[in-house]
Chains A and B, each alone.
Chain A
Amino acid sequence: MELLNNHRPPITAGLIPPSLRDARRPHRVLERHWFVSRSGFFWILLGGFFEPFFYLVSTQLGFGSLIDDVEVGGELVSYVHFVAPALLAASAMNGAMYETMNVFFRMTFDKTYSSMLATPMTAGDVVLGDVFWATIRGGLYSAAFLVVMAVLGMTSSWWGLLLLPASLLVSFAFAGVGMAIATFIRSIEDFEYVPTAMLPMFLFSATFFPASSYGRFEWVLNFSPLYHGVALLRALNLGQFPPSIFTHVVVLFALAGLSIVLSAHRIERALLG
């Protein structure tokens, strides 16, 4: 960005708030969170490991034997292979979203951001730092999930390794969304709306049924952010690369980008009045 910027402001100048352009220290936010959580980190990871374990084992024992194979991109796969990557996407989403709900407290009661903003840090640092932190947390959950999937034989091939960067992207997108949502939360009561919105998204993102079963409403799926994660991970797990995965990647990046810009505006408005 700096290289392009000779005297003329870059085209993006109007879109990207100055606090983001001036962000140089998002890693300091990570450092602060690491200081806070390092003592309990092992337990967080362990929790992140058991949750998918129970999910996947129950899927395998339960639906796996009851439900017929499903067609994905012209390939017939077992239901377990169909559902596991979708659950991985949901886990990447949940890990990131739940972490970003802390943003509300850091903005208000804890005053974490206020004291950061009195230093050379900017609102952009704060937003990027917290989005990265939530992405890492979601990513660690995904990694644990992926290990369980591999051990239970739910990855199809070595293509499964691509699921890690892809689920990091899902975490990144939802870390952004979660951060932006958290900046709109006015009081603790508002938190109740978050799971209310997340549950239908979890159920209706081609998670448990193939997209084709949505019939003439299939296009609606495109409006579910999670669907793009599910479809991406499902294709990659089978080593399929249809052109649509490009769309999914772009949508997820766009979601993260827009959320980050919006969050920076919100934080500035709330704390730098």
Chain B
Amino acid sequence: MSGSEGTAVITAKALTKRFGDFEAVKGTDFEVRAGEAFGFLGPNGAGKSSTMRMIGAVSPVTSGELRIFGLDPADDGRKIRARLGVVPQQDELDEFLTVKDNLVIYGRYFDIPLKACREKAMELLEFVQLADRADSKVQPLSGGMKRRVTIARSLMSDPEILLLDEPTTGLDPQARHVLWDRLYRLKQQGVTLVLTTHYMDEAEQLCDRLVVMDQGEIAAEGSPAELIRTHSPREVLELRFPAGTNAEHAPKVEGVGARQEVLPDRILIYADDGEAALSEVHRRQAVPESALVRRSTLEDVFLRLTGRTLVE
């Protein structure tokens, strides 16, 4: 299923969320189309969860306009929630129920007949590779397993849109890859994915389109490749000088690339040809402890747009 031509299922105009005097989401505009995987990439506190909760119709919009399936969450919250699957940032599994009953009861909240719930629960536990834990309590499961149960639970109602708030934060690399694979399959089945993350590799892997979010605002929007192409030269040269001397070396390598960023632990030099930049550094007789040429990533885009790194 090709998402780029789909109709808009979520639209936000000047979407704002205020908690008392504090503005967590500052008038954002975005549109999610049917069948695509759409991401919010941003560091902690960017306003990702606040946005997701408004989309999930569990947090009222302060001002601006938000439509999900063309419906206003202020009027039709129930109807919207009936068509969404939600994976909140914290797993909210029912510790008093078995893994399977967690899914069954959740299905009942959507008025799905009990027998259908039981069948669907087993089918989804197969899908997330946890069928053998169906009768286990939730508590002894690992973080990655709980996340998979939560995803299975969110699929009980065959949602048209799946909202995933930081689906893999805190998981080990192997558990993340299992999850990414499952999410990719869901997308292939036509489920619209909306996810938040502060991992640029997750955004690159999963998202057709994304917005870069920082301090409640959207800094840029596009496909991962587009964003990188527009906002960053193709390659990055990372230089590490002896501890505490980065700032001192910065003037020496000034102008080697198109742009440079001085971080506490390294200097990043952005250039279309990283190797050529490294030769130039050597010619200027700056001697880094280590040097590395890599491709530009969303992390670099973020740094460029906000002057800060994604994960502190």
Contacts and interface: CB of A to CB of B under 8 A. Distances in A.
Interface of A: 22, 25, 28, 31-32, 35-36, 110-112, 114-122, 271-273
B106 A115 contact: yes
B78 A272 contact: no
Contacts of B101: 35
B39 interface: no
Contacts of A31: 105, 108
Interface stretch (B88-96, B190-198, B235-243): B88-96
B14 interface: no
Interface stretch (B53-61, B168-176, B203-211, B288-296): B53-61
Contacts of A273: 19, 59
B86 interface: yes
Contacts of B60: 272
Given A111-B92, A119-B110, 8 more contacts: A28-B109, A35-B97, A35-B104, A117-B58, A118-B88, A119-B109, A120-B110, A273-B59
A78 to B, nearest CB: 45
Contacts of B135: none
Interface of B: 19, 56, 58-60, 77-79, 81-82, 84, 86, 88, 90, 92-97, 101, 104-106, 108-111, 157
B92 A36 contact: no
Contacts of A122: 77-78
A117 B56 CA distance: 10
B104 to A, nearest CB: 8
A31 B19 CA distance: 35
B92 A119 contact: no
Contacts of B110: 119-120
B78 A120 contact: yes
Contacts of B104: 35
Given A110-B95, A122-B78, A272-B60, A116 B109 contact: yes
Contacts of A28: 108-109
**Residue among B56, B109, B157 with the highest chain A CB neighbour number at 10 A:** B109
Contacts of A22: 78
A119 B101 CA distance: 16
Given A25-B111, A35-B101, A120-B109, A112 B88 contact: no
Nearest to B83: A120
Contacts of B157: 119
A229 to B, nearest CB: 31
B106 A272 contact: no
Contacts of B77: 122
Contacts of A118: 56, 58, 81, 84, 86, 88
Contacts of B93: 115
14 contacts: A22-B78, A25-B109, A28-B109, A31-B108, A35-B104, A36-B96, A110-B95, A116-B109, A118-B84, A119-B109, A119-B157, A120-B81, A121-B109, A273-B19
